[in-house]
Structure 1
Amino acid sequence: MWLLVPFVILPIVEIALFIQVGGAIGILPTITLVLLSAVLGATVMRRQGAMAMLDVQRAMNEFRDPTAPMAHGALIMIAGVLMMVPGLFTSAIGVLLLIPGVRTLVMGWMGRRVRVVGGARGNRARTSDSDFAGDFPSGFGRGRGPSGEGVIDGEYSVQDDPPAPVREGLTDGRPGGRPGNSGWTRH
């Protein structure tokens, strides 16, 4: 039912605003205002969208949480789209979303309504490098499984080195020690 609101109510609001604003400032200035809004929206999407992507990359390079820059970038893109839609009400909402304080309020409002479902089993947040020390009790190659219950063990064996000519790439290891076709190239 709530999906019908934008498709039924929004056009009525836009038409009413066109009539009111057109009656107050005239038809040509109203059309010019809508066209300028569309051009500004396209410019915002191109410039601010690229800046938002740079903010996300910078956050990831600095090992910070990229969700805030991603949310700001998404809201900036939504603002650009709303400004490109022909209408005064949608353009006004788009202009409001360009204000960083308004975006922060919208993100807070949306954050209260988002619910995280699921997640990794047995994982815990790590706050420092010292937290990793407990997962490797006796050396390299041992750690805790995903459920935190066991240790993964491995075995290894030491093999003798191949003869010196094979190690140095002089032969392919065939008897007689002569150079030959290794199988990697055609002769």
Structure 2
Amino acid sequence: MRVFLFLFLLFPIIELTLLIQVGSAIGALPTVLLVIGTAIAGGILLRVAGLATAWRAREKLARGELPEQEMLEGLLIAVGGGLLLLPGFISDIFGALCLIPFIRRLLVNKIRLRAAEQAMRQRAFADDLAARSGQARPGASQPNVLEGEYKRHD
């Protein structure tokens, strides 16, 4: 968590430094126009890619399927469009990567794998806790336990 906070605080400084470097290399007006142009292009790409993803999700829903792939792609499109709308070149690079279809699909598959692994870890942890407390989850097989009393004769 501290690393995330550190990167969150460091990111604007890096963006500003890069904007100053590019501005000094190509001039202030071309830099401002480039930032505005990427924001406009991001808005257009966000709208086009978002509509295409929404149509694919709608088609899947019409077939009675759950559109989890399209929902995650829609999330990445929204993140990518938001990053393109931010002023700066590093955020534009990451935003453009989120909007490129094959990279977006790779990221979605990676997210799905991590979510499945996390669900398996949580399920294993819940099963372990249930076994320790003597409770069983609904749908889980009951252990073979014989209850009884005993007396010790010495």
Mapped partners of 1:87, 1:41: distance in 2: 12
Deviations 1:55-106 (A, max 9, x none): 1111111233411111111111111000001111001111111111111221
2:36 maps to amino acid: L
Question: 2:72 corresponds to which residue?
Answer: 71
Q: Please, what TM-score do these two structures have when normalized by structure 1?
A: 0.58
1:82 maps to amino acid: L
Task: Structure 1: give runs of 5+ residues left out of the alignment.
Answer: 124-146, 148-187
Question: 2:50 corresponds to which residue?
Answer: 49
Question: 1:24 corresponds to which residue?
Answer: 25
Percent identical residues: 33
Higher RCO by CA contacts (8 Å cutoff, separation 6 or greater): 2
Mapped partners of 2:10, 2:108: distance in 1: 24
1:100 maps to amino acid: P
**Are 2:110 and 1:93 equivalent residues in the alignment?**
no
Change (3 A) 1:50 1:16: same
State the Cα distance separating 1:43 from its structure 2 match: 2.1
Mapped partners of 1:59, 1:27: distance in 2: 47
Change (3 A) 1:43 1:122: same
**Are 2:25 and 1:8 equivalent residues in the alignment?**
no
State the Cα distance separating 1:121 from its structure 2 match: 4.0
2:139 maps to amino acid: G
Answer 1 or 2: which has greater helix percent. 2
Mapped partners of 1:38, 1:85: distance in 2: 7
Match for 2:139 among 110, 122, 128?
Answer: 122
Question: 1:112 corresponds to which residue?
Answer: 113
State the Cα distance separating 1:7 from its structure 2 match: 2.8
State the Cα distance separating 1:34 from its structure 2 match: 0.6
Task: Structure 2: give runs of 5+ residues left out of the alignment.
Answer: 124-136, 142-154
Mapped partners of 1:121, 1:54: distance in 2: 37
State the Cα distance separating 1:122 from its structure 2 match: 2.9
1:45 maps to amino acid: L
Aligned residues: 123
RMSD of aligned alpha carbons: 2.3
Question: 1:155 corresponds to which residue?
Answer: none
Larger Rg: 1
Q: Please, what TM-score do these two structures have when normalized by structure 2?
A: 0.69
